[in-house]
Each structure stands twice: as structure tokens, then as C-alpha cells.
């Protein structure tokens, strides 16, 4: 088990290398920077997912969901074929 000095009160607390650990003395987070970074990452990930052209909203109609799922399928197949072709081009000269 390790310890970390609290950035707020300056006392040492038990730290399990988890960004959600709290100080035993003042109750503040021991890693506020990492916690903020994790929250920003989650928000950015959600934003990128919703900006995707084939993102399926729960409010979408049945036909719209079908076409978005079809678009996702065709996009995945297309990218798999393109990846294979690029791998083949890179592997042939060597």
C-alpha cells in the first residue's frame, strides 16, 4: 500500500493508485488533476460518438435506425477491405 500527500491539506493519506481516492483528513480528492482529465476524456468521447454520422438516437424512427445500422455495416466492411489492401501493398515489397 502506498501513501500520497494531499494537495489541499498537506497531510499523508493511504493511496491505492486510484484517481477517486480521498484524503483521510480533509476528504478532498488526492488526484484532482487526474480526475478532471478523466471527466474531460469521457465528455469528449461522448461528444465524438454523438457527432458520428451513423450515431443512432433513441428518438430515431425505425427506418432511420435501419439505414444507420446499414451504413455502419457498409462502413465497417469498406474499412476492412481498405485495410487489407493497404496491408497487402505494404507487405509485397518487403
Assessment of whether the complete model's pTM goes beyond 0.85: no
How far apart are alpha carbons 34 and 1 in whole angstroms?
19
Q: Are 2 and 17 a contacting pair, CB within 8 Å?
A: yes
Per residue in 55-76, pLDDT (tens digit) is: 888 898 999 999 999 999 999 9
**pLDDT tens digits for range 24-46:** 999 999 998 998 999 999 999 99
- Average predicted confidence (pLDDT) for the chain: 91
Amino acid at each position: 500500500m502506498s501513501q500520497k500527500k494531499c494537495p489541499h491539506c498537506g497531510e499523508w493519506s493511504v493511496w491505492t493508485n486510484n484517481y477517486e481516492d480521498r484524503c483521510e483528513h480533509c476528504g478532498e480528492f488526492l488526484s484532482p488533476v487526474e480526475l478532471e482529465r478523466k471527466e474531460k476524456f469521457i465528455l469528449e468521447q461522448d461528444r465524438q460518438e454523438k457527432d458520428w454520422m451513423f450515431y443512432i438516437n433513441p428518438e430515431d424512427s425505425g427506418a432511420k435506425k435501419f439505414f444507420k445500422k446499414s451504413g455502419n455495416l457498409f462502413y465497417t466492411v469498406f474499412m476492412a477491405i481498405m485495410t487489407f489492401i493497404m496491408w497487402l501493398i505494404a507487405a509485397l515489397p518487403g
